[in-house]
Structure 1
Amino acid sequence: MRKSARALDRIDLRILAALQADGRITNAALAERIGLSPSPCLERVRRLEQTGFIRRYTAEIDLSPVTRTVTVFAEVTLASHAQADFARFEAALAAEPAVVEAHCVGGGIDYVLRIVARDIADYHETSERLLASAPEVANLTSYVAIRRVKADSGLPLDRLADPEA
């Protein structure tokens, strides 16, 4: 059972913000930062995990010391908007490990993808596999990232939370 966003209180939001900034923080350090004793802090973290507010813990990886990569953003438009076409294309995306992020969007296109490849040739092979496995694609437009200007800094919890929480 998932909690509604209204069920988050200020302490929950502070816990989420602290874990978002440092997923490896110990429970004792987290409790101290939040102003709780360790046992209630751990209970809250477990509740946030069980209710789905915390989906997973992860590490940010930097491969630049050992290899070069290329990040490509791709816009995809499908030939039709039949649900079966969306499902087939999304299955092709799920099977492609180079596609690290995908969003179905509204507007003039249907999807925005973030693809990380070894180089442009590897990206080309990835896009060819996607096109071959998903004939419903009408258009795929690629944008090669030159440099990252802003990294993922997590959700802006203080701006998104219910002000009455």
Structure 2
Amino acid sequence: MQLDRIDLKIIRRLQEEGRITNVQLAEAVGLSPSPCLARVKRLETAGIIIGYEAQFDLAKLGDFVTAYVQIILKNHRRADAERFEKAVVRHREVVEFHMVNGKFDYLMKIVAAGYDGPARILEELWQADLGMQSYSLFIVSGMPIRNGPLSIAS
């Protein structure tokens, strides 16, 4: 699907404020409401817009800790990777999970209750004997940028 400059304006504006009304969005991108809504629906149908979500201040919800984990697997057979991936996705505390290239195989973001929450999740994965060779855990101590908008060229 080819995106024109108005589609890109719509995407940028929705990144800034996902709960904007269609009338406000149309005004912001220079369309009338009906064609604007049609474009948004087209972007959703094409799978470019895949959802809308709320963001939360975790500190106000409880004692949550965010951690990033780099994981190296012992073997790089697809079957071993799939077994590991299936086990990881069962943990709701794992909020991002990426297969990556480089010095490690996976990058995982864990948000769990309590200071020991991320370590508890990792210990469960380690004890399940899923082929992990090693991991490095990094506890987040601050977030200078939180969910910044993507830089989308016009």
TM-score bracket relative to the smaller structure:
over 0.9
2:102 counterpart SS class: coil
Alignment pair present for 1:86 and 2:85: no
Q: Which structure 1 segments of 5+ residues have no match?
A: none
- Structure 2 runs not aligned, ≥5 long: none
2:93 to 82, 93, 98: 98
Where 2:56 maps in the other structure, the secondary structure is coil
Instruction: Give the residue type in structure 2 aligned to 1:37.
Output: S
- TM-score, normalization by structure 2: 0.94
Q: Which residue number in structure 1 is paired with residue 112 of structure 2?
A: 117
Equivalent residues of 2:75, 2:131 under 8 A apart: yes
The one-letter amino acid of 2:21's match is T
Secondary structure, in 3 states, of the residue corresponding to 1:64? Answer: helix
* Aligned-partner Cα distance in 2 for 1:150–1:43: 33
Deviation (angstroms), 1:61 = 1.0
Mean alpha-carbon deviation: is it higher for 66-75 or for 80-89? 66-75
User: CA RMSD, aligned part only?
Assistant: 1.3
Residue type at the aligned position of 1:23: G
2:22 paired with 1:53: no
Q: CA deviation at 1:134?
A: 4.7
Deviations 1:117-151 (A, max 9, x none): 11232222211122233521110111111111211
The equivalent residue for 1:150 is 145
- Paired AA for residue 36 in structure 2: C
The one-letter code matched in structure 2 to 1:107 is G
Contact 1:88 1:134 in 2 (8 A): no
Equivalent of 1:64 in 55, 59, 67: 59
With the length of structure 1 as denominator, give the TM-score of the two structures.
Answer: 0.88
Give CA deviations for 1:29-58 in whole Å, capped at 9, x if unaligned.
100000001110000000000000000010
TM-aligned CA distance change 1:136 to 1:43, over 3 Å: same
Q: Distance in 2 between matches of 1:134 and 1:37?
A: 57
Could you list the runs of 4 or more consecutive aligned residues of structure 1 that deviate by over 6 angstroms after TM superposition?
Answer: none
Aligned residue-pair number: 154
CA gap of 1:74–1:124, structure 2 versus 1, over 3 A, is same
What amino acid does structure 2 have at the position aligned with 1:72?
Answer: A
